[in-house]
């Protein structure tokens, strides 16, 4: 099941892809990571899908990553008595603390934190930005607004507040229950929604520890002022363009995407680009040309992975969407310009032993025209640093830890395998040669480069670079 590309594919599971046959087809079509969206579905739904993914992993012998995406503190209005109502442009509209059905003049807002955070002049966005309200007056129980962009509003529509950091916990009570369940299953990554500041990531780290990697979703303008810190505190990041595109002017989203990819590359953290990548394939068997360019553009920018949401979770063509994304990435990989861009975007190594070894590894690999880069790792750190260098050969990662192997399925260019730990350089070379030949990365007579840490089995000890001939 070797992939003929470097960037990875994240596919969301849902009603259209909740059975074993479809999940197997998604994997065969190119999915490397399966996303469980905890905004939808029951714990039992997720448990069943988890078992299906692990069975496919057992059958294929290929580590598969599972990403648990927490709902986060989504703000919503209450309900409307007469059903959906029309808010006319220029009208006054109040959001208050009165738990009664709303009408065309007011609605319940069950989030007291907002009443102390917003001020006159701030903007409230309703229903993914379809309605825009400008705050005129605030007191302890009411937010009086003027309708700037009107339209129909109905029960439980989302509220976005782009102008302020909302003082709400990064993890709601629902998130904490979902997180505990996801960790009990054994998920490999946990995605945090609506991260606003570094403390949000640190709060999650206290609960998660090393049981799963933390992926921070960048979808709030407040996070943009702390991007470096958020990336450093996280294990991976996601450009979540849905809510980000609601709270930011649309023209600002592409520069943010490129900036976040660059910062993530600098720190060697995987970065995922998500939302509406092949949106038309929810209902059509082929994407628009603009959508294919969007996917390709994210890959050209250096993203580790691109993600499908509704396309694979609830669309009519989930397998076709993954297959299309796979073909787009393969086409980019074959383009000589892609390698030129990867080299041009190369970040200087950090002053650490791991970066020194992996940077040299990249140069040696190119000079000797190695067939593959083999990376021995216990925690995944060595392979992540190798992926940061974007070598022009595949990265064959060997680890004795299946949890590490699964987590690395998200990283650019990494083909992850599980093998018993080695105890000597000679054994390391033999295992690397056997794995390279077995996985189809090279032929007898070709060279490979190997990075590892000595003594073996110690996390964070990368200090060895070796060249071996396949035999």
State pLDDT tens for residues 282-313.
Answer: 999 999 999 999 999 999 999 999 999 999 99
CATH of domain 85-160: 2.40.33.10
Catalytic residue among 3, 5, 132, 217: 217
**Residue 162 to residue 122: CA distance in whole angstroms:** 8
Q: Indicate the pTM of the whole model.
A: 0.93
Instruction: Tell me the mean pLDDT in the region 411-416.
Output: 97
Instruction: Tell me the mean pLDDT in the region 184-190.
Output: 98
Q: Pairing state of beta strands 462-469 and 395-399?
A: unpaired
Catalytic residue among 47, 76, 79, 266: 76
pLDDT-derived band at 254 (thresholds 50, 70, 90) equals: very high
Given this model, what pLDDT does residue 1 score?
64
Contacts of 65 (CB under 8 A, 6+ apart): 32, 33, 34, 188, 189, 406, 407, 408, 409, 410
Instruction: Measure the CA dihedral 410/411/413/417, to 10°.
Output: -70
Name the fold adopted by 8-72+170-332.
TIM Barrel (3.20.20)
pLDDT tens digits for range 228-246: 999 999 999 999 998 899 9
pLDDT tens digits for range 95-128: 999 999 999 999 999 999 899 999 999 999 999 8
Is residue 329 classed exposed, middle or buried when 0-12, 13-18 and 19+ CB atoms within 10 A define those classes? buried
Q: Is 35 considered catalytic here? A: yes
CATH 2.40.33.10 residue spans of the chain: 85-160
Instruction: Tell me the mean pLDDT in the region 172-177.
Output: 96
- Sign of the CA dihedral with 50 first, then 412, 59, and 379 last: negative
The CA R_g of the chain, rounded to the nearest whole Å, is: 24
Catalytic residue among 12, 123, 145, 275: 275
Q: Is 378 considered catalytic here? A: no
CATH 3.20.20.60 residue spans of the chain: 8-72+170-332
Percent of the chain's residues with pLDDT above 70: 100
Name the fold adopted by 353-469.
Pyruvate Kinase; Chain: A, domain 1 (3.40.1380)
Instruction: Tell me the mean pLDDT in the region 30-59.
Output: 97
**Residue 156 to residue 198: CA distance in whole angstroms:** 29
pLDDT-derived band at 74 (thresholds 50, 70, 90) equals: confident
If one counts every other C-beta atom within 10 angstroms of the C-beta of residue 439, the result is 15
Given this model, what pLDDT does residue 438 score?
94
Catalytic residue among 5, 35, 269, 385: 35
User: How does DSSP assign 193-221, residue by residue?
Assistant: TT--SHHHHHHHHHHHTTSSEEEEEE--G
Largest CA distance in the chain: 78
- Sign of the CA dihedral with 350 first, then 352, 354, and 357 last: positive
- Can you tell me which residue has the tokens 């050969």? 393
Contacts of 323 (CB under 8 A, 6+ apart): 29, 30
pLDDT-derived band at 454 (thresholds 50, 70, 90) equals: confident
Please say if the pLDDT value at position 461 is more than 80. Answer: no
Phi and psi at residue 92, to the nearest 5°: -90, 140
CATH 3.40.1380.20 residue spans of the chain: 353-469
Average pLDDT across the chain, whole number: 95
Q: Is 399 considered catalytic here? A: no
Which residues pair with residue 469 across a beta bridge?
Answer: 447
Q: Are 28 and 56 in contact (CB under 8 A)?
A: no
pLDDT tens digits for range 338-383: 999 999 988 888 888 888 998 998 999 999 999 999 999 999 999 9
**Residue 346 to residue 362: CA distance in whole angstroms:** 11
Q: Is 74 considered catalytic here? A: no
């Amino acid at each position: 099941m070797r992939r003929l590309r470097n960037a990875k594919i994240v596919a969301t599971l849902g009603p259209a892809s909740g059975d074993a046959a479809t999940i197997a087809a998604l994997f065969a079509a190119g999915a490397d990571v399966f996303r469980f969206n905890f905004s939808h579905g029951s714990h039992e739904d997720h448990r069943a899908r988890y078992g299906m993914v692990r069975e496919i992993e057992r059958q294929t012998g290929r580590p598969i990553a599972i990403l648990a995406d927490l709902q986060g503190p989504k703000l919503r209005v209450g309900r409307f008595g007469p059903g959906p109502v029309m808010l006319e442009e220029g009208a006054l509209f109040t959001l208050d603390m009165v738990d009664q059905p709303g009408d065309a003049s007011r609605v319940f807002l069950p989030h007291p934190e907002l009443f102390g955070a917003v001020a006159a002049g701030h903007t409230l966005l309703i229903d993914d930005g379809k309605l825009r309200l400008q705050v005129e007056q605030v007191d302890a129980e009411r937010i009086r607004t003027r309708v700037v962009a009107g339209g129909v509003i109905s029960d439980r529509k989302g509220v976005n507040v782009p102008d302020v950091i909302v003082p709400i916990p990064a993890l709601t009570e629902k998130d904490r229950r979902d997180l505990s369940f996801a960790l009990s299953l054994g998920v490999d990554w946990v995605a945090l929604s609506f991260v606003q500041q570094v403390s949000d990531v640190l709060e999650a780290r206290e609960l998660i520890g090393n049981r799963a990697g933390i992926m921070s979703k960048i979808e709030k303008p407040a996070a943009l002022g702390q991007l470096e810190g958020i990336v450093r505190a996280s294990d991976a990041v996601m450009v979540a363009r849905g809510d980000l595109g609601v709270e930011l002017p649309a023209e600002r989203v592409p520069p943010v995407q490129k900036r976040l990819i660059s910062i993530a590359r600098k720190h060697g953290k995987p970065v995922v680009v998500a939302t509406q990548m092949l949106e038309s394939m929810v209902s059509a068997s082929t994407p628009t040309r603009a959508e294919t360019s969007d996917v390709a553009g994210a890959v050209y920018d250096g993203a580790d992975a691109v993600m499908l949401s509704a396309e694979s979770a609830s669309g009519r063509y989930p397998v076709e969407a993954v297959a299309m994304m796979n073909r787009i990435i393969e086409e980019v990989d074959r383009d000589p310009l892609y390698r030129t861009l990867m080299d041009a975007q190369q970040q200087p190594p950090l002053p650490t032993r791991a970066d020194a070894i992996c940077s040299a590894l990249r140069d040696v690999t190119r000079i000797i025209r190695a067939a593959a880069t083999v990376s021995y790792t216990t925690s995944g750190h060595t392979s992540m640093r190798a992926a940061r260098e974007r070598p022009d050969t595949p990265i064959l990662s060997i680890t004795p830890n299946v949890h590490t192997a699964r987590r690395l399925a998200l990283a650019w260019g990494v083909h992850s395998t599980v093998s018993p730990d080695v105890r000597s350089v000679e054994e390391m070379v033999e295992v690397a040669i056997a794995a390279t030949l077995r996985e189809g990365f090279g032929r007898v007579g070709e060279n490979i480069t190997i990075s590892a840490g000595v003594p073996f089995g110690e996390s964070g000890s990368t200090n060895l670079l070796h060249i071996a001939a396949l035999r």
